[in-house]
A and B are shown apart, each in its own frame.
Chain A
Amino acid sequence: MCGRCPESLRKTDRYTAARIDMKPTTRRRNLSRRAWLATASGTAATGLVMTRWDALKATTPASRASTAGARQIPAASADPTKVPGRFVSEVGRRATGEQPVRLLRTLALSSSSRTPLQDLQGTITPSDLHFERHHAGVPEIAAEEHELLVHGMVERPTVFRMADLRRYPQVSRICFVECSGNGGGAYNRSRMPTAITPQQLDGLLSTSEWTGVMLSTILREVGVRSGASWILAEGRDAAVMSRSVPLEKAMDDAMLAYGQNGEAIRPEQGYPVRLLLPGWEGNAQVKWLRRIEISDRPTMTRDETSRYTDPLKDGTARQFSFVMDAKSLITFPSYPYVLPDRGWWEIEGLAWTGRGRITRVEVSTDGGRSWADAVLQPPVLSKSTVRFRHLWNWDGRETVILSRATDETGYVQPTVHQLWDARGEGTAYHQNHQRAWKIASDGAVTFGLGDLL
């Protein structure tokens, strides 16, 4: 790397979510290829593998500054070996130039915000970047006065305070939470986007280490009566969000989670306690949990009838479609990155399945004609995201790259045609089809599924 240009050494140039409105043509015009080559082309010239940070440098400071929310890039500071640093602090903060942000849908009571998948590394989502989906805002709840009522078809209806829940044997587990509406932005044949980022498309996905108590432990405590088959989980938000969940799942691997990534669960994720259903759609994992009723039938709440059901082409609607099927997404290269030069690039992305472990991820760099096994980066955990990588020598010609995941049941992430054939085009959830990115000959990356149809 060029020692004369400090900027080329900083990982500060990543685009922000606010740049998503930029049209690729605008960006290409702003890209001064010669200027880039003059400063940082040593990377390519020496044959090193380039990374997404190299791709980010291909965007110009001018284009970065022209967008709202563009990150602050610190002025070249004095030699830090000659200036004493700052003192210790009670709570740390991110580097000035490293400020990934969630992407807000709307400022409304029922809204969502999306995780900046393209800005993250590894698999764990920083808790303050975990996606949000609230139906009536984030409630303010004090843990000291929060209570969970467990009743219905039980021997001992019980009220648990948080101090009670924390006394039970504790478990921790890394798993993803994904909204079943994730990916809906690239399912409609007539509205297939090109200028869409991983965050915009699939940012309703996050992974955390969750800590809490097994729901089976609590159900054993209250004594589930014979004949029970469902539970109703109800939240303490202003929508009193509630979902019915089969007792079988509740007794299997459901958790009452009060911890997230080493700290108390964040308010946006259900503080002080949420239901966690590993591998199942996020909506059923009721946050701010205040009541569990054990029953012999589902309640048929609004969010398991009017919403979160899947109309199929045969005129029926699939209901209680809880499990998130296998899915993968290349997070780099992706829109709106620009590959400034041909040569060695490392394609990377995330794969996950609600049916256990991902066993294989394949990557195609020729529009799906041939496939190669990507490297799965450990740990490969059940019902968690896994990062995959694939080393690629780009010849500089226009192409489409895509990925497909296989899970331990033998399920292979389908093409969008397979989903259309199976379900029709009227579903609004569970759109786990293969995603694609088009690399233009000038290095500009756009969402490429439309090019394969």
Chain B
Amino acid sequence: MRAARKRFAGGAWALLAVLLAACAPDTGREPEVTAAASGSVAQAAFSGSLPAHAPERFGFGAPASADRIALWDIDIKPDGEGLPPGSGSVAEGRRIYELSCMQCHGPTGTEGPNDRLASSGEWGEWPAGRTVGGYWPYATTLFDYTRKAMPQATPGTLGDDEVYAVVGYVLHLSGLVPADAVMDAETLAAVEMPYRDRFVPDDRKGGPEIR
């Protein structure tokens, strides 16, 4: 809401500027648009502002029930929020992997033909080496992605226990969990990914400096 307030404050400022300039009273737009209207309309800056007389709410759309939200709210946050009940072992995961994943990712997760999953775990094998152990900052991402998008030809067909299991196996292939590990909401969120701290915010900001 902080950003929202800032925006509405900006809109109010723009409206004030327009009124002071004694322009048409029917705008809440940016002043440059109003100025352009009397001259070069073609160069008017884009503005997505609503007209000043727009209602606070239009009332379109239907309220979303809690059941409806629960049905669709499937994403997993990096702290594990959203992980479902259930569990799966690395051993069970191997069985699922060989049945559903090996065809594209190879017997040990390194052979392809599709994305390489496992590696020595060393950072810096770019660009082919963005492997789970060598790059991925969060283990939760693996659950989120696998459950939604894998296997590629039959996405969404693995049950939650199966996803826990196969995610555990892939983490094991990368040396991140032991062979007897069992993954669930608690153990998956607790997996320490070696390179999490390497990820930094974008520091590019325009201007003369090349970053």
**A residues at B contact (CB < 8 Å):** 109-110, 135-136, 149-151, 156-161, 164-165, 167-169, 171, 173, 214, 216-217, 219-221, 224-229, 232, 234, 238-242, 247-248, 251-253, 255, 290-291, 293, 295, 297-302, 305-307, 309, 311, 315-323, 325, 355, 378-379, 381-382, 407, 409-412, 414, 418-419, 421-423, 426-428
Give the interface size class of chain B. Answer: 35 or more
Q: What residues of chain B lie closer than 8 Å to A291, measured between beta carbons?
A: 72-73
Which parts of B30-63 form the interface with A (CB within 8 Å)?
A: 42-43, 45-46, 48, 50-51, 54, 56-58, 60-63
Indicate which residue in A219, A301, A317, A414 contacts B199 across the interface (CB closer than 8 Å): A317
Contact B200 A319 (CB under 8 A): yes
Indicate which residue in B69, B136, B137, B210 contacts A151 across the interface (CB closer than 8 Å): B69
Q: Which residue of A lies closest to B136 (CB)?
A: A306
For residue B166, give the distance in angstroms from its CB to the closest CB of chain A: 15
A150 to B68, CA, bound (A): 11
For residue A31, give the distance in angstroms from its CB to the closest CB of chain B: 38
Q: Determine, out of B84-92, B95-103, B142-150, B174-182, the stretch whose residues face the partner at the interface.
A: B142-150
* A410 in contact with B206 given A136-B155, A169-B51 (CB within 8 Å): yes
For residue A413, give the distance in angstroms from its CB to the closest CB of chain B: 9
Contact A307 B61 (CB under 8 A): no
Contact A317 B54 (CB under 8 A): no
Contact A168 B60 (CB under 8 A): yes
For residue A256, give the distance in angstroms from its CB to the closest CB of chain B: 11
For residue B152, give the distance in angstroms from its CB to the closest CB of chain A: 6
* Chain B interface, DSSP helix/strand/loop, else mixed: loop
Contact A306 B3 (CB under 8 A): no
Interface: B159 (CB within 8 A)? no
* Residue interface bits B130-142, CB-to-A below 8 A is 1, else 0: 1010011110110
For residue A315, give the distance in angstroms from its CB to the closest CB of chain B: 6
**B residues at A contact (CB < 8 Å):** 1-4, 7, 42-43, 45-46, 48, 50-51, 54, 56-58, 60-64, 68-69, 72-78, 123-124, 126-127, 130, 132, 135-138, 140-141, 144-145, 148-149, 152-153, 155-156, 195, 198-208, 210-211
Contact B198 A317 (CB under 8 A): yes
For residue A294, give the distance in angstroms from its CB to the closest CB of chain B: 10
Q: What residues of chain A lie closer than 8 Å to B75, measured between beta carbons?
A: 232, 234, 242, 293, 299, 301
Contact A299 B78 (CB under 8 A): yes
Contact A410 B58 (CB under 8 A): no
Contact B78 A300 (CB under 8 A): yes
**6 interchain residue pairs of minimum CB distance:** A409-B206, A426-B126, A240-B148, A302-B145, A157-B64, A214-B48
Q: A238-B152, A317-B198 are in contact. List 16 more A-B contacts (CB 8 A).
A: A136-B149, A158-B64, A164-B60, A216-B48, A221-B60, A221-B61, A234-B75, A253-B48, A293-B73, A299-B144, A301-B145, A306-B130, A306-B145, A316-B200, A414-B210, A426-B126
Contact B73 A418 (CB under 8 A): no
Contact B149 A240 (CB under 8 A): yes
Contact A379 B199 (CB under 8 A): no
For residue A5, give the distance in angstroms from its CB to the closest CB of chain B: 40
A371 to B123, CA, bound (A): 41
Q: What residues of chain B lie closer than 8 Å to A248, measured between beta carbons?
A: 3
Q: Can you give 6 contacting A-B residue pairs, CB < 8 Å?
A: A161-B61, A305-B136, A307-B130, A316-B199, A317-B200, A318-B200
A322 to B203, CA, bound (A): 11
Contact A109 B152 (CB under 8 A): yes
Q: Which residue of B lies closest to A408 (CB)?
A: B206
A407 to B61, CA, bound (A): 40
Contact B46 A305 (CB under 8 A): no
A248 to B211, CA, bound (A): 23
A319 to B42, CA, bound (A): 37
A55 to B140, CA, bound (A): 55
Contact B153 A109 (CB under 8 A): yes
Contact B149 A135 (CB under 8 A): yes
Indicate which residue in A229, A238, A247, A411 contacts B207 across the interface (CB closer than 8 Å): A411
Q: Which residue of A lies closest to B74 (CB)?
A: A240
Q: Which residue of A lies closest to B123 (CB)?
A: A315
Q: What residues of chain B lie closer than 8 Å to A214, measured between beta carbons?
A: 48, 50
Contact B135 A306 (CB under 8 A): yes
Q: What residues of chain A lie closer than 8 Å to B73, measured between beta carbons?
A: 151, 291, 293
Indicate which residue in B72, B130, B132 contacts A290 across the interface (CB closer than 8 Å): B72
Indicate which residue in A225, A301, A421 contacts B141 across the interface (CB closer than 8 Å): A301
* A238 in contact with B127 given A319-B202, A411-B208 (CB within 8 Å): no
A238 to B145, CA, bound (A): 11
Contact A158 B61 (CB under 8 A): yes
Contact B149 A226 (CB under 8 A): no
